[in-house]
Chain A
């Protein structure tokens, strides 16, 4: 059986007939071909599949697409401006070399953006604690933490 799912992804209305068991991440990657959202562990631990649903970071591998029926979804492809100007967080990741292989980066950026909504001026400890839904196996997190601190400072102005 299939079901019709409709949502807004990166500001664009999209809709498709999908199997009920289609995960949100599968819909994003395979139907919409937005492959910046990654599947790492597929068990809701690593955070590589993080997207925003109605402004809050969630793990898109751990919900079925129908749970986002009618929702606003933001994926990494929608974070930069249409002209390619990087978002403050992306720019901070670039500036501070907060990535190595880059696999976890889309999830890290989206999770970090959500983090700053709740902690506009986070301490290093808060950043490390609040990033516990995202795993990185390359960087050791140091530069990621630096980047988030810098992005917070930029956003506070």
Chain B
């Protein structure tokens, strides 16, 4: 690992000040992707600003029709929360399927969302549920937040403080995971929300995306058969040693079908 300066901060304002002091500073959340990429020398921040000690950034709040997760809430906390399981079981189950037990005990929603790994699970959950990302400056709709591979709408001096999810009528997430990395080869989040049907796909392409033709079919009838015959294009999908674009396109339909079935169960 390249050397860096370590900064311990106690509040979001201090973190922003620290960010402004250095050109290549990076925020450290759980570090489950960042530390790994630094060890491989794929990332070379001059400074790490550790958000781990900011108490305000942690916590789960369920308030009627909204679930709000502090940015530093760990995957294991979301997966194990009785409140989240009751309000949005699909969200708890998504968190439960991220990485492995040890990674879930460190990794955070804010870190995952800000990193926007094209095969991460949370982006599908945020877009699938129509979540809102709260930063120190503004609210950003999930649809406007994810900008393709490892890119987001976040500005350099912007920190995610929490993510709010409207409670859907029903929802489910299904992923076909890489058995070694547990990242999604394809993951599909399906939700029937008060603002309509949402189908969000992760892992298949360079960034999370919605499938309007499936949303339309589900709006007409919410049943696995509605999406079973919809073939999505393999144009622009990822092709690698794990799966070809064509195979990923096929998986989108299969996972969508299974997600609808799970949402109805």
**A residues bordering B, Cβ < 8 Å?**
1, 3, 19-21, 23, 42-45, 47, 50, 53, 56-59, 62-64, 66-67, 69, 111, 114-115, 118, 130-133
CB-based A-B contact count at 8 angstroms? 82
Q: What is the minimal beta-carbon distance from A78 to any residue of chain B, in angstroms?
A: 18
Q: How would you classify the secondary structure of chain B's contact residues: helix, strand, loop or mixed?
A: mixed
Binds A, one of B96-104, B155-163, B167-175, B233-241: B96-104
- Provide a sorted-by-A list of 27 A–B residue pairs whose CB atoms are within 8 angstroms: A1-B5, A20-B5, A20-B6, A20-B48, A21-B3, A43-B39, A44-B32, A44-B102, A45-B181, A56-B76, A56-B105, A59-B102, A59-B106, A62-B31, A62-B35, A62-B36, A63-B31, A63-B106, A64-B48, A67-B31, A69-B53, A111-B101, A111-B102, A118-B80, A132-B100, A132-B101, A133-B101
**A53: B residues at CB distance < 8 A:** 105
Assembled-state Cα–Cα distance A115/B102 (Å): 10
Contact mask for chain B residues 69-93; partner A; CB cutoff 8 A; 1 contact, 0 none: 0000000100010000000000000
**B residues bordering A, Cβ < 8 Å?**
1-6, 8, 28, 31-32, 35-36, 38-40, 48, 50, 52-53, 76, 80, 99-103, 105-106, 180-182
Q: How would you classify the secondary structure of chain A's contact residues: helix, strand, loop or mixed?
A: mixed
Contact B50 A47 (CB under 8 A): no
Q: What is the minimal beta-carbon distance from A5 to any residue of chain B, in angstroms?
A: 9
Contact B8 A66 (CB under 8 A): yes
Contact of B103 among A19, A21, A44 (CB under 8 A): A44
**B6: A residues at CB distance < 8 A:** 3, 20, 64, 66
Q: What is the minimal beta-carbon distance from A72 to any residue of chain B, in angstroms?
A: 14
Assembled-state Cα–Cα distance A66/B4 (Å): 12
Contact of A67 among B2, B28, B99, B101 (CB under 8 A): B28
Contact A58 B102 (CB under 8 A): yes
